[in-house]
Amino acid sequence: RGSNLKDVSILREMSNIEVITLSANNISSLVDFQYCQNISELYLRKNNIQKLAEICYLKELHRLRVLWLSENPCCGADPHKYRMTVLRNLPHLQKLDNQVVTEEEVAQAVEDGEEMVAMHSKEPMEPIRNCSRREVSTSESSTQMESDVLSFRMEETNKIREELGMKPLGRDKFFSSVGVKDRNSCNGTQRCTSNVLSAVLLLLKELDGDGLEIVYRMTEQKLRILHSKETEQDQ
């Protein structure tokens, strides 16, 4: 079940994420995924990616092993041409869509696939500075909440992995990019809070009523802890 997501620019702040499941949305470009250098599995079935040249943004993701891109406009009317082109540009893939990639296919892709030219390089990242101790503390609390919310995506991802004959992922493998060490540097309090908040709001759209109820209770608990700490500091 998708959420009609279009903007996934928050991924630029998630360089350590390993698995992304965003099928059945309205994503039209792969540009933001190029920043996810540790990604190994990417599920983008049923989106709005028009041009197959977008796969150029994935060329430098050398750990990417599983890609599900079927049912996007970029797949075109020729399944063989599509598959060969993807494998020529991403020969390190082990599974493409719902099929295992063979050595014979990779060799054939050199002949039958089309070499895609890089569309443009990465946009420069904004300069960063260290947050103060209070900023880091706030970011840590928000990051933990984000990590808890993301855990509800595991079930959907593991169902897909089962269909592909793969083992289910554990929590640590599913999402490692929200570690505090990756959030300790940012451009001030506003940027710290904005990045985490954007990720949380993005993921809330994926939850059903039960999931939202759990997040609501967890949010109340986090707020009580924060208020308690602030009261102690003021005394």
- Flag whether 122 is in a domain: no
- Flag whether 71 is in a domain: yes
Taking only the tens place, the pLDDT of each residue in 57-98 is 999 999 999 999 999 999 999 999 999 999 999 999 999 998
- Flag whether 181 is in a domain: yes
Same domain flag for 91 and 161? no
Same domain flag for 136 and 84? no
Same domain flag for 92 and 134? no
Range of the domain at 81: 9-112
- Flag whether 119 is in a domain: no
- What is the band of 46 on the pLDDT scale with cuts at 50, 70, 90? very high
Q: Which of 112, 147, 167 is the last residue of a domain?
A: 112
Same domain flag for 169 and 95? no
The answer to whether 65 touches 40, Cβ cutoff 8 Å, is: yes
Same domain flag for 80 and 108? yes
The answer to whether 204 touches 150, Cβ cutoff 8 Å, is: no
Same domain flag for 103 and 145? no
Q: Which of 62, 79, 112 is the last residue of a domain?
A: 112
Query: What pLDDT sits at residue 97?
Result: 95
- Flag whether 3 is in a domain: no
- Flag whether 124 is in a domain: no
Taking only the tens place, the pLDDT of each residue in 164-221 is 566 676 666 555 433 334 444 444 555 555 556 656 666 676 667 777 777 777 788 7
Q: In angstroms, rounded to a whole number, what is the distance separating the alpha carbons of residues 21 and 151?
A: 12
Mean pLDDT of 7-32: 91
- 38 vs 130, residue with greater confidence: 38
Task: Give the chain's domain count.
Answer: 2
Query: What pLDDT sits at residue 195?
Result: 54
- Flag whether 123 is in a domain: no
Write the CA distances from 147 to 17, 49, 111, 196, 215, integer angstroms: 11, 28, 44, 10, 11
Query: What pLDDT sits at residue 235?
Result: 66
Taking only the tens place, the pLDDT of each residue in 89-140 is 999 999 999 899 999 999 999 999 999 886 655 554 443 333 333 333 334 4
Q: Which of 84, 112, 140 is the last residue of a domain?
A: 112
- Flag whether 39 is in a domain: yes
Same domain flag for 136 and 103? no
Query: What pLDDT sits at residue 183?
Result: 41
Same domain flag for 222 and 138? yes
Q: 134: which DSSP letter?
A: H
Same domain flag for 212 and 172? yes
Same domain flag for 13 and 90? yes
State the helix-helix crossing angle for 133-150 and 209-234, rounded to 10 degrees: 160
